[in-house]
Amino acid sequence: MLRLAVGAPDLADMRDWRNRNQMDWHGHRVVPTYTRRMPTRTAELLDGGSLYWVVKGILCCRARFIGFDLMRSPEGDEVCRMLLDTELVETVPQPKRPFQGWRYLKPEDAPPDLDQAGGSGQDLPPHILAELRQLGLA
């Protein structure tokens, strides 16, 4: 599944937000994120699926699904809480156009994890690595 990380200027900010928003859920440490509707393919998503995050137009990381539940928002609306693993896995960056809500991602379209794609680029100076990632080239 794809989702925009609205308001996150970069991956570091995304990590900070996730660290600040962890909670316990049925004995698991998780990071919640909310959406209006429960996905129809929850069983498929829970069977090893991940939420892939698009940060500033670049699909760059993922987190494994742990669970889903329905709850009431502070305004009284029913919302779906998607519960994600605390580990944020960087992926090979891919540019993505803006979209609303979330989208299902076909397994064959999912980018590989960065550590399995032949290196992380960590030997590059941080400013060059950041610019390459913004362009979807690293």
Give how many domains the chain has, as a whole number. 1
- Rounded to two decimals, the pTM is 0.83
pLDDT in tens, 77-120: 999 999 999 999 999 888 998 888 899 999 999 999 988 866 55
Query: How far, in Å, CA of 41 to CA of 120, rounded?
Result: 32
Which of these, 92, 77, 98, 125, lies nearest to 2 by C-alpha position? 98
Domain hosting residue 65, numbered range = 2-134
pLDDT in tens, 13-27: 999 999 999 999 999
Question: Dmax of the chain from CA atoms?
Answer: 49
